[in-house]
Structure 1
Amino acid sequence: MPKFSDAEKEIIKQKLMQEGERLFTSYGIKKVTIDEIVQAAGIAKGSFYSFYSNKEHLYMDIAGNLQFKMWREMDAFLNENRSLPPRELCKQCFLWMFKELQRYPMLKQANSETADYLYRKLPPEVIEAHTKDDGHELIKLQEYGVQFKCGIEIATKTLQTLAISFLNLQQENAADQQTIMELILDGVLKEMISDEGD
Structure 2
Amino acid sequence: MPRFSDTEKKMIRQKLMQEGERLFTSFGIKKVSIDEIVRAAGIAKGSFYSFYPSKEHLYMDIAGNLQTKMWREMDEFLDENRSLPPRELCRQCFLWMFQALKRYPMLKQADGETAEHLYRKLPREVIEAHTKDDSCELIRLQEYGVHFTCGIETAAKTLQTLAVSFLNLQQDDSSDQQAVMRIILDGVLKEIISDESD
Sequence identity of aligned pairs in percent? 80
Match of 1:142 in 2: 142
Query: Partners in 1 of 2:140 and 2:177 — Cα distance?
Result: 27
Indicate the SS of the match to 2:50.
coil
Query: Partners in 1 of 2:59 and 2:175 — Cα distance?
Result: 31
Which deviations, in whole Å up to 9, do the C-alpha atoms of 1:90-145 show, x marking residues without a partner? 01000000001011111010000000000000000110110000000000000000
Equivalenced residue count is 197
1:174 offset after TM fit, Å? 7.6
Query: Partners in 1 of 2:40 and 2:185 — Cα distance?
Result: 41
1:176 offset after TM fit, Å? 2.3
Query: Partners in 2 of 1:113 and 1:126 — Cα distance?
Result: 18
What is the one-letter code of the residue matched to 2:124? P
The two structures have a TM-score, normalised by structure 2, of 0.97
Match of 1:159 in 2: 159
Match of 2:59 in 1: 59
Query: Partners in 2 of 1:149 and 1:55 — Cα distance?
Result: 37
Which deviations, in whole Å up to 9, do the C-alpha atoms of 1:1-25 show, x marking residues without a partner? 1111111100000000000000001
Match of 1:19 in 2: 19
Match of 2:71 in 1: 71
Indicate the SS of the match to 1:49.
helix
What is the one-letter code of the residue matched to 1:166? F
Query: Partners in 2 of 1:177 and 1:132 — Cα distance?
Result: 30
Match of 2:38 in 1: 38
181-190 or 152-161: which moved more? 181-190
In structure 2, do the counterparts of structure 1 residues 84 and 174 end up closer, same or farther at CA, with 3 Å as the change threshold?
farther
RMSD over aligned Cα atoms: 1.1
Match of 1:112 in 2: 112
Which deviations, in whole Å up to 9, do the C-alpha atoms of 1:9-53 show, x marking residues without a partner? 000000000000000011110010000000000001010000000
The two structures have a TM-score, normalised by structure 1, of 0.97
What is the one-letter code of the residue matched to 2:80? E
